Structure 1
Amino acid sequence: MKKATIQLETLTCPSCILKVENATKSVPGVDKDSVKVMFNSSKVKFDFDDEKTSVEEVEKAITALGYQVMKSKVK
């Protein structure tokens, strides 16, 4: 499992958190229990299986909702 942090554009409403969280959890290979969306810092943190998915797949799921991804980090 790898850990990822995605920096998003500023989140403006609490319902954004739920949308981003659900989009992240919908990607196969993402550990659903590890998904955390931080409203104040506009970041998404999660663990994922790099044999099943990539950070780019999660980015696509988030950008499909209309949120802009600023940068990503994988550890």
Structure 2
Amino acid sequence: MTTVKFQLEPLTCPSCIKKIEGKVGKIDGVEEVKVLFNSSKVKAVYDADKVAPEELRTVIEKLGYPVVA
């Protein structure tokens, strides 16, 4: 398993957490996803043979949460 972290623009509502975790968590190959509201970070543990970090980033950004790092 591989871990990736994304820094998002500041999150404005706690419901953002469920939205991101729910969508990213359903991606085939994602083992675990955690959104840290106070620091606006997303940490995902995934199988690099099944999914690329760029795919995770794309899903997060399509939800309306720009990744800044």
| Superposed pair shares fold, TM > 0.5 | yes
SS at structure 1 position matched to 2:4: strand
Unaligned runs of 5+ in 2: none
Number of matched pairs: 69
The residue type equivalent to 1:27 in the other structure is: I
Look up the match of 1:62.
Answer: 60
Distance across 2 between alignment mates of 1:54 and 1:5: 13
Moved over 3 A (4+): none
Question: RMSD in angstroms over aligned alpha carbons?
Answer: 0.8
Distance across 2 between alignment mates of 1:27 and 1:17: 16
Look up the match of 2:43.
Answer: 45
Look up the match of 1:5.
Answer: 5
Deviation at 1:35, TM superposition (A): 1.4
Distance across 1 between alignment mates of 2:26 and 2:59: 8
8 A contact 1:9–1:70 mirrored in 2 = yes
Distance across 2 between alignment mates of 1:27 and 1:69: 18
Unaligned runs of 5+ in 1: none
Deviations 1:50-74 (A, max 9, x none): 0100111111111111110111xxx
